[in-house]
Amino acid sequence: MRRLLRWLLPAALLLAALMLGVGAGSVAISPGETLSILSAALRGEAAAGSHAVILLSVRLPRVLCVALAGASLSLCGAAMQGLLRNPLADGSTLGVSSGASLGAVLSLAFGLRPPFWPEGGVMAMAMLFAFLSLVLILSLSLALDRSLQTGSIILLGVIFSMFATSCISLVTAFAGEKIKSITFWTMGSLSGSTYRDALVLCIALVLCGGVLLRFAPELNAFSMGEEEAAHLGVAVRGVKLTVLIAVSVLIGVCVSIGGTISFVGLVMPHMARMLSGPDHRRLLGASMVSGAIFLVLTDLVSRTIVSPMELPVGVVTSLIGAVAFVVLFRRTKGGRAA
Amino acid sequence: MRLTVENLSVSLSGHPVLREVSFTARGGEWWMVTGPNGAGKTTLLRAIARTVAYAGETTLDGHSLRSMRRGALARELGVLSQIHGDAGGQTVEEIVRLGRYARRTGLLFPRDPGEGEAVEAALAAAGLTELRGRRMADLSGGERQRVYLAQVIAQDPRVLLLDEPVNHLDLRHQQQLFQLLRAWLGQGDRLLISVVHDLSLAKKYGTHALLLSEGCPLGAGPLQEVLTDEALNAAWQMDVAGWMRSLAAVWDTPGTQA
């Protein structure tokens, strides 16, 4: 019974958040109507009425993308916090998100794209730069401080973020009329998402998320320290590299679709940890669900709070995240002093 | 079982820390690695456990440890180290369960059929059955060290490396831990190699000894032959036995102030 509840309750909450996300907005659509529109669409009937059009072609793809991006970012945060044994690790604090943005912006401004995958230029560049930033920051912090302490990694991540942001500004200055689409990447918004975006996010989440979930026991072992994990039989380098690649790809995909949405990955795993405990076999799943719910609700706020205008969701998450970051940082400092 | 170490040398950032150490250990033996500070004792254990780069060769029953996969190595060789990362939030049982990691098989959903049984036995052996649901952060230092001992017991290796296992433990827990280890050693073809600072403990529990000084081996073999008064005096450059006797003498004359 308890086991069942443990699965059913998050699923029900996620479903409720999704219903709220597609229903609420400048045009309110009741849950009953939402269901009938969805079932009609699933039966293959053409959308009839303005509500059906709004729901099916605007809100549903957006909410799906938001939920998938929330789940992905939160999962990445949880995995990195486990891997680096660092409560402040996340795509945004480690500079991965800004690195990915830089890649996306370079691709947009100068039309840089890999020859083997021209239409995926922005995405491929975002992924590549996400991975390169992660490798750069980790190797730099290793060179400066062999014990890979919390402080040095975060410091380098923040410095790298600033560096990447100035590079983006520099590129923007020379970008001419492409300025508008570039600004989008630096703010983070999922408005105008399509079903194609949702599909790409879904595939990325299934593949990379699957890899990360598979490594839950290894992440548990890492919590004792890397050397201890090796003593237990964990192939430390291989696991680390695989997890970092999966995280970079997932964050790269998220950034290429939604821009930099910071702090979801930092805050939500901590919330999830309070409910699920530190065991990664439960924590990773809990982080995904809570990340999805959180971002769906935040996105709802961002598009309704100053209606008919819309705030980029990244702005809202950053506002919430900045406060949460301070609280978390204080707590980790306090924990070490005690 | 036969563990051989041949001409093992380690340099850390350019400085030689361990020079040409060789010895052969067999099942049932308890090796005590001892020597003054900076002798390279911990480095020796880390080289055998392959967490530091080394020159030379280590073999177990003729198989080179260097070429083993991590998982295979962990099934043969366990390590109980002195300092552990902050496993704060996890429970005792979760930590002990991690010991079975290398026993899990299967690519997508690794499973270990013996996990439940082994974890129960290890918890019982270390006297932790009552504490199984407690969080690591809520335990005392002695209890925590027992959890890590239970973890290596669950791991069930044939060779166990211990790095100052009783450091920071009070007398009662020291005694408890050494008795547990002796019991573990007696349960089959097993080998213990431990770094110890306390020479009395080394002499009481060890069968063999390796004496190191500034990275060089001063002797390796049966304990009585290696830890002679002359060798100890040379290693520490003081009258070791005399000092230990004067410490022990305090207990024979009641009321004396040391």
Backbone angles phi, psi at B80, to 5 degrees: -115, 105
pLDDT digits (tens, 9 = 90+) for A144-174: 766 556 567 778 888 888 898 898 888 888 7
Tell me if A1 is assigned to some domain.
no
Residue A232 has its nearest CB partner, among B74, B86, B108, at B74
Subunit contact A224:B95, Cβ cutoff 8 A: yes
Q: Can you list the positions of beta strands (E) in chain B? A: 2-12, 15-26, 30-34, 55-60, 63-64, 77-80, 159-163, 191-195, 208-213, 216-222
The ipTM assigned to this model is: 0.88
Q: How far B230 CA lies from chain A's nearest CA (Å)?
A: 36
Is B98 in contact with A231 (Cβ distance < 8 A)?
no
B103: nearest CA partner in chain A: A233
Domain hosting A137: range is: 59-331
**Whole-angstrom Cα distance, residue B184 to residue A2?**
39
Contact between chains at A223 and B85 (C-beta distance less than 8 A): yes
Q: How many domains are contained in chain A? A: 1
Min Cα separation A230/chain B (Å):
7
Instruction: Report yes or no: B197 at the A interface, CB cutoff 8 Å.
Output: no
Q: Confirm whether A263 is domain-assigned.
A: yes
A220 in any annotated domain:
yes
Residues recorded for chain A: 338
On whether any CB of chain B is under 8 Å from the CB of A186, the answer is no
pTM of the model: 0.85
Return d(Cα A193, Cα A198) in angstroms, integer.
Answer: 8
- Indicate whether A264 belongs to any domain: yes
Digits of tens for pLDDT over chain A (338 positions)? 677 777 788 888 888 888 888 888 777 888 888 888 888 888 777 767 777 878 788 888 889 999 999 999 999 999 999 888 888 888 877 788 888 888 888 888 877 766 666 567 777 888 888 888 888 887 887 787 665 565 677 788 888 888 988 988 888 887 777 777 677 666 767 777 788 888 989 999 999 999 999 999 999 998 888 888 899 999 888 888 888 888 888 988 888 888 878 788 888 898 888 888 888 988 999 999 999 999 998 888 888 887 777 788 888 888 887 787 777 767 655 444 33
Instruction: Give yes or no for a contact between B78 and B191, defined as CB atoms under 8 angstroms apart.
Output: no
Among A85, A231, A278, the residue with its CB nearest the CB of B49 is: A231
Q: pLDDT averaged over chain B?
A: 88
B112 close contact with A: CB closer than 8 A: no
CB of A277 within 8 Å of a chain B CB? The answer is yes
Q: Is B150 on the interface with A (CB under 8 A)?
A: no
Q: Which CATH number fits the domain that encloses residue A163?
A: 1.10.3470.10
- Which one is predicted more confidently, B129 or B109? B129
Residue A185 lies in a domain: yes
- Tokens found for residue A67: 């939920």
Q: How high is the pLDDT of residue B212?
A: 93
Of B74, B79, B90, the CB nearest to A279: B90
Half-sphere exposure of A232 (CA within 13 A, CB side): 29
Per-residue HEC secondary structure of A197-209 comes to HHHHHHHHHHHHH
Distance between A72 CA and the closest CA of chain B, angstroms: 21
d(CA B37, CA B17): 12
Summarised one tens digit per residue, pLDDT across range B57-97 is: 999 999 999 999 999 999 999 998 876 655 667 889 999 99
Q: Is A305 among the domain residues?
A: yes
Structural contact between residues B96 and B152, judged by C-beta atoms closer than 8 angstroms: no
For residue A194, the SS3 value is coil
Q: B134: how many CB neighbours lie within 10 A of its CB?
A: 15
Residues of B in contact with A218 (CB under 8 A): 101
Interchain CB contact of B79 with A (< 8 Å) = yes
Residue A245 lies in a domain: yes
**In B65-207, beta strands by DSSP E:** 77-80, 159-163, 191-195
Question: Any long-range contacts for B215-224 (C-beta under 8 Å, 24+ apart)?
Answer: B215/B16, B215/B17, B215/B18, B215/B19, B215/B39, B215/B40, B216/B19, B216/B20, B217/B19, B217/B20, B217/B21, B217/B22, B217/B23, B218/B35, B220/B21, B220/B22, B220/B23, B221/B23, B223/B32
Question: Angle between the A31-42 and A2-23 helix axes, to the nearest 10 degrees?
Answer: 90
> Residue A217, Cβ neighbours under 10 Å: how many?
19
Contact A233 B102 (CB under 8 A): yes
What are the chain B neighbours of A279 within 8 Å (beta carbons)?
90, 94
Query: At a CB cut-off of 8 Å and minimum separation 6, what does A50 contact?
Result: A27
- Domain assignment present for residue A8? The answer is no
- Residues B207, B29 contacting (CB under 8 angstroms): yes
The radius of gyration of chain A's CA atoms, rounded to the nearest angstrom, is 20
**Closest CA–CA distance from residue B119 to any residue of chain A (Å):** 15
